[in-house]
Structure 1
Amino acid sequence: MAAPPPYPGSDKQAGIAPPPPGYGVPPPAGYQPMYGQPTAGYQPAYQQQPMVAGQSSVTVLTQPGIMVSQQYREVPVRTKCPACHAEVLTSTSFETGTFAWVIALVLCLFGLWLGCCLIPFCVDGCKDVVHSCPNCRHTIGKFNRM
Structure 2
Amino acid sequence: MQPAANYQPVPIGFTEPSAPPSYEEATFQYQQYPPPQPGFDAKNFNNPPYIVQPAPLQPPVTVQTVYVHQPQNFFDRPVQMCCRFCNSMITTRLEYSSGALAWLSCGGLCLFGCCAGCCLIPFCIDSLKDVDHYCTNCHALLGSYKRI
TM-score normalised per structure 1: 0.53
Which structure is higher in RCO with an 8 Å CA cutoff and minimum separation 6? Answer: 2
C-alpha displacement of 1:68:
3.4
8 Å CA contact 2:94, 2:131 repeated in 1: yes
The structure having more radius of gyration, on CA atoms, is: 2
Query: Mind listing any 5+ residue stretches in structure 2 that lack a counterpart?
Result: 1-52, 54-67
Higher helix share: 2
Structure 1: unaligned runs, 5 residues or longer: 1-53, 55-65
Cα deviation, 1:58-115, whole Å, max 9, x if unaligned, reads xxxxxxxx97332211111111212111111111111111110010001001111111
With the length of structure 2 as denominator, give the TM-score of the two structures: 0.52
- 2:140 maps to 138
- Distance change >3 Å, CA 67–CA 83, structure 1 → 2: closer
Question: Percent of counterpart pairs with the same letter?
Answer: 39
Aligned length: 85
Cα distance in 1 for residues equivalent to 2:100 and 2:133: 18
Partner amino acid for 1:85? N
In structure 2, the residue matched to 1:128 is: 130
Who is 2:104 aligned against? 102
Which stretches of structure 1, 4 residues or more, deviate above 3 A after TM superposition?
Answer: none
Contact 2:81 2:90 in 1 (8 A): yes
Contact 2:134 2:140 in 1 (8 A): yes
Match of 1:81 in 2: 83
